[in-house]
Chain A
Amino acid sequence: MKINILFFASLKEIFGQESLVLEIPKNISTAHDLLDFLAENKKGPWLKLLKRKSNVRVAINQSIQDWTKKISDGDEIAFLPPITGG
C-alpha cells in the first residue's frame, strides 16, 4: 500500500525533506509497525526517529493517534516532535 509521510521541525531537518511517498508491504498494520519496518529496512534517519519515539507523536490523517492505530492505503502519516506553540 501507498502512504504519504510528513516531517516537521527537527525531524524535517534530520530527514532533509518535508514529505515522501512510500510503498510499504500490506502486512504493516499499525504506525508502530511502520516505524519498526522503516528503521530496520531503511536505517539512517529512521533509526534516529525510532530512538526518539517516546518523544514523538504520530498523526494519522491530521489527527494525533496511538502508535497502535491501524494505518491504511492512502493515509497521511506525520511524525510530530514535541509541540511548542504559544
Chain B
Amino acid sequence: MITIQSKVFSIDHVLNKIRADKTQIGAIVTFVGCVRDFGEDNEKKLIAMEVEHYPGMTEKVLQDIESKAKKRWKLSATEIIHRVGRLDLSEPIVCVAVASKHRDDAFEAARYIMDFLKTEAPFWKKEITSIGNYWVTDKYSDHIQKSSWNDDIEKI
C-alpha cells in the first residue's frame, strides 16, 4: 500500500498494519529514512527539510515499483509511506516495510523498492539551513545502485 502524507508516522503503526490478519508472515524488513542535521556537503547545518512531490504521478510510480517487487519476490505485503511538506530534524521521511515468509525475500525487496523510489518517484528535497535553502542534488551512486537491479522501470 502507498501512502503520501504530511504528518509523522509511527513504525509501530506500520508494523501492525503490515501483519494484520496475516499469520503466514515470518519476516518483516523495514527501512526508515530520517532528516539528518547536516547537508549534502557534510558542512551545512540543517534546520529542517522540505519535500515536494508530483501528486498523481508519485502514486503511480510507487505502485509500479511495488508491483514489480511483488513479481520478483514472494511477498506477503508491502507498505510504502513517504512524507511531504516541512519535516523537522530526526523525523522520518520515508518508510518501506516488506513482509514475507522468509527473510531473504523481504531484505532484497526492501532494498529494491528504496533504490527505485530514490531515483524514479517524483519527490524533491530541499535543505533548510541557517545560511539559505538548497535543493538536494541527485547522487550518482543512487543511479548505479538502481542500475544494478537490471530492471527497466523508466516506462510505466
Query: Which residues of B are found within 8 Å of A59, using beta-carbon distances?
Result: 54, 57, 122
Query: How many residues on the A side are at the interface (Cβ–Cβ under 8 A)?
Result: 18
| B119 to A, closest residue via Cβ | A83
Residue of A6, A8, A65, A83 contacting most chain B CB atoms (<10 Å)? A83
Residues of B close to A83: CB separation below 8 A: 118-124, 138
A49 contacts chain B at the CB level, 8 A cutoff: no
- Other-chain contact of A84, B54, B56, B124, B155 (Cβ < 8 Å): B124
B137 / chain A contacts, CB cutoff of 8 Å: 82, 84
The answer to whether A64 and B93 touch across the interface, beta carbons within 8 angstroms, is: no
Given A85-B51, A85-B125, 20 more A-B residue pairs with CB atoms under 8 Å apart are A6-B54, A8-B52, A8-B54, A9-B124, A62-B54, A62-B60, A63-B155, A64-B154, A80-B122, A83-B121, A84-B123, A84-B125, A84-B138, A85-B53, A85-B82, A85-B94, A85-B122, A86-B93, A86-B117, A86-B118
* B positions within 8 Å CB-CB of A: 33, 51-54, 56-57, 60, 82, 93-94, 114, 117-126, 135-138, 154-156
* A residues in contact (CB < 8 Å) with B: 6, 8-10, 12, 59, 62-65, 78, 80-86
